[in-house]
Structure 1
Amino acid sequence: MEPQRQEQPILTRTWCVCLLALVCCALWGSAIPCIKTGYALLGISSADVPSELFFAGLRFMLAGVLALAAASISERRLVRVKRSSAPMVVCLALAQTIVQYAFFYIGVSNASGVKGSIVNASATFLAILIAALIFRQEQLTPRKIVGCAVGFAGVVLVNLTGSLEGAMTLTGEGFILIAAASSGFSAALIRIYSQCENPVALSGTQFILGGAVLAAVGAALGGKLSQLTPAGIGMLVYLACVSAVAYSLWSILLKFNPTSRVVIYEFMNPVFGVIISAALLGENATLPWRQTLAALALISAGILIVNREKKEGPEGNPRGLQET
């Protein structure tokens, strides 16, 4: 009698990973134009880094509260991390919120949009390298390297509407690279910590801690919201919802899947950013549609290469999704 095949968990199925990851990327893509809009509505200039940090801190604190509240309502109980998990929260807050966004906001203000976007896309490479070479969570295979290279080519293509001239600087592209490395570490940490903690509780709690630190640093440096308007507050709440929903879903996906299988979708962020920015800012006429579609094709190919399942083994068991 043949052994009964176990049903594959829904959160590891390709269609589910793809759907939820694309939702996350679409939300993060919408955040880029919405942050700029929020700055304008709240009276924050592009050169006012302290106010940007204060704004980010408020956003992430609110995101943490919303994530925990939504999870508690859904589960009909107070969702929180165990006291013994406090070191996990601190480490995750440092990697995912404090270091990543402090360096990212400063780096973006000192780098061109084109080079900044391309350097930031290295987060996907770094996340896979960190997971494979430092934390030994999975194998670094030629297929993953090729898939990342193809996807990265798509990111470069979608950003070629601007200039790549000018020297790179430590406080510009260098800081963005540090932020990307911090993001890679946070992905690996989430995969580890979520095996013994509720990933949504972890995400929400670290957002509150990390956001409080960013807000405190920004306020200490003179950061403030120069003008409070209903529209500006509404945009802040929307951005908090973006972080709460996207990072909670992302954490859940990382709990049940190899890091490379999830983070490869991050190459879609700039594509969604370009399309959503054009729609919200009324730039449809100037959007390079052919270039964007070509970039989308390359990124999709990279995702398919990384997620390609192996053929069934000699006993008929599919092995592609279990590869780590």
Structure 2
Amino acid sequence: MAVLCCLLWGSAFPAVKAGYALLHVAKTDTAAQMLFAGWRFLAAGAILLILALLNRKSIAVPRTLVGPVIGLGLFQTTLQYVFFYVGLAHATGVKSSIMNATGAFFGVILAHVLYRDDRITPRKAAGCLLGFAGVLAVNLGGPRGVGGLDFEFSLLGEGAVVAAAFVLAAGSIWGKGVSRTLDPMVMTGWQLAIGGTALLAIGVAAGGHLSGFDARSLALLAYMAGLSAAAFALWSLLIKHNPVGMLAVFNFLIPVFGVLLSALFLHEPVLAWKNAVALALVCGGIWLVTRRASSRLSSRP
């Protein structure tokens, strides 16, 4: 389930950039980017809430959780994707995927600080470093300025993507607490709907406009809404039942998938042998982090 979530999130890198092209969204048109994100997440939230109703679940939020759910939506969805969409517009899909990998480190560090049973161990630290090495390996040697890796850094580009990664990591831990008393599907549905509505409001207030709607652009928006609904709902369920630090290392797969799919659909050059090395390193890092937890679980009566 964790790998599936990462594959879906990785596909968002080329999908967002393709959406910008189809809907004529310039990289400097932040208002239109907010509209694009708002429709995506509002639709994703509606999908989850409708599914919850079809499964005869109550979508009512207890009074004591109304504030946390609204806060989670504005933080993990609105704030995160303000950073993410702006950053992605000012950096290539490849470089954005590298910066996004810092989210795994943020998740492990925050879990170490907040949970006594989720400390950083030498094995976990080695796994994180191995995973990040895989992310770097898949990008090293790309042509400068043509989607490959270089050492330039801008606050509006790579800096915004790093900020988005931190917000996602912190929001996942916040959601873990809320999901203890609220169904993860319902929580995620409201979170995405509230966050998406706020993004729409920002886009409209800033004078955003989208054009070029046709079968292709609508199909792309539908796909992005579906991947958000599925990935966030599954991840919330995983976070509820598993240590945050163990799951965080799977986030290294997101940039690997993002690079592979960006290369496939956006023709951003990445050599095939480096893809294989990257996948091997990332999988090795995941194995290091999860092996100990699996052994502990298997030893229980």
Could you tell me the TM-score, scaled by structure 2's length?
Answer: 0.90
Contact 1:117 1:159 in 2 (8 A): no
Q: CA deviation at 1:312?
A: 6.8
Q: CA deviation at 1:116?
A: 3.2
Q: Which residue of 1 aligns with 2:218?
A: 233
> What SS does structure 2 have at the residue aligned with 1:227?
coil
Q: Which residue of 1 aligns with 2:253?
A: 268
Q: Which residue of 2 aligns with 1:8?
A: none
Q: How does 1:1-324 map to 2 (within 5 A)?
A: 20-73=1-54, 75-134=55-114, 136=116, 138-160=118-140, 161=142, 162-166=148-152, 168-281=153-266, 283=267, 287-309=270-292, 318=299
Contact 1:158 1:270 in 2 (8 A): no
Question: Aligned AA for 1:212?
Answer: T
> What SS does structure 2 have at the residue aligned with 1:264?
helix
> What SS does structure 2 have at the residue aligned with 1:309?
helix
Mean CA deviation greater in 244-253 or 171-180 = 171-180
Residue 137 to residue 182, structure 1, CA distance change in 2 (3 Å): farther
Distance (whole Å) between structure 1 residues aligned to residue 106 and residue 227 of structure 2: 24
Question: Aligned AA for 2:212?
Answer: Q
Distance (whole Å) between structure 2 residues aligned to residue 318 and residue 94 of structure 1: 41
Contact 1:42 1:229 in 2 (8 A): no
Q: CA deviation at 1:95?
A: 2.6
Distance (whole Å) between structure 1 residues aligned to residue 117 and residue 27 of structure 2: 39
1:285-315 CA-to-partner distances (Å, cap 9, x unmatched) read x5411000000000000000000126978xx
Question: Aligned AA for 1:170?
Answer: L
Q: Which residue of 2 aligns with 1:6?
A: none
Q: 5+ residue gaps in structure 2?
A: 143-147
1:98-128 CA-to-partner distances (Å, cap 9, x unmatched) read 1111112222333455443322210010011
Mean CA deviation greater in 136-145 or 193-202 = 136-145
Distance (whole Å) between structure 2 residues aligned to residue 79 and residue 311 of structure 1: 34
1:38-69 CA-to-partner distances (Å, cap 9, x unmatched) read 22222222322110111001100000000111
How many residue pairs end up in the alignment?
295
Contact 2:97 2:256 in 1 (8 A): no
Distance (whole Å) between structure 1 residues aligned to residue 117 and residue 79 of structure 2: 23
Question: Aligned AA for 2:299?
Answer: P
State the identity %: 39
Distance (whole Å) between structure 2 residues aligned to residue 118 and residue 248 of structure 1: 24
Residue 171 to residue 40, structure 1, CA distance change in 2 (3 Å): closer
Distance (whole Å) between structure 1 residues aligned to residue 275 and residue 5 of structure 2: 19
Contact 1:107 1:175 in 2 (8 A): yes
Could you tell me the TM-score, scaled by structure 1's length?
Answer: 0.84
Structure with greater contact order relative to length (CA < 8 Å, sep ≥ 6): 2
Q: CA deviation at 1:135?
A: 5.2
Mean CA deviation greater in 246-255 or 127-136 = 127-136
